Amino acid sequence: MMTRLHKGFSLIEVLVTIVILVIGLLGLAGLQFRALTAQMESYQRSQALVLLQDMAGRINDNRANAVNYVTTTPLGTGNTGYAGCTSGGTGSAADDECEWNNALLGAAEVDTANNNNKVGAMIGARGCILQITPAASGVPGQYLVAVAWQGLNPTTSPAVNCGNGSYGSNDALRRAVTLPLTIAILQ
């Protein structure tokens, strides 16, 4: 008589175990997705820092013409004013901005299988160079180099206006890194 009361009990145990395993596996899948998203955000930030240091070095190398690097509109927007670098690498501000614009657009890596699309930069990369204070006699000029891009998850909007409004109505997707530069002009 006792065997009849326990019939099917092992089946319920197996079903409960399967449900617990499925919930655990779904949690692991969600964790893997979050890890991939964090990895992409980290990759984009490192790319932005490389581009930031690149332009800071260019401005520092051409410090006598630092004021010519100031941008009125963000670079990297696909504007045709910087489409071709024609001055042959002379180190002028326009040439440096042209090369930086191409890097922001992703020219460092191209997808040869897909019409040579530029894929080397961040999502929607923008670059800005702002003049904080102009150089005067004996007083160095201060500039702010900024790189902005579109993140994958919303966070707090950055304080710098570079790329503001470029990523739809949700400004919380905008990421930015900045580097202040102090340029003293030798006289």
Reading the block at residue 69, the tokens are 């690097």
Domain boundaries, the chain: 40-183
In degrees rounded to 5, what are phi and psi of residue 26? -65, -40
CA distance 106 to 100: 10
Residuewise pLDDT in 10s, the chain (187 residues):
555 666 667 888 899 999 999 999 999 999 999 999 889 999 999 999 999 999 999 998 888 888 889 988 888 876 444 456 765 556 688 888 888 888 888 876 766 776 666 667 788 899 999 998 887 777 788 999 999 998 888 888 888 888 888 887 778 888 999 999 998 866 5
Reading the block at residue 11, the tokens are 């089946």
Tell me the whole-structure pTM to 2 decimals.
0.77
In degrees rounded to 5, what are phi and psi of residue 139? -115, 125
Residue 122: which of 19, 36, 54, 50 has the closest Cα? 50
3-state secondary structure of 24: helix
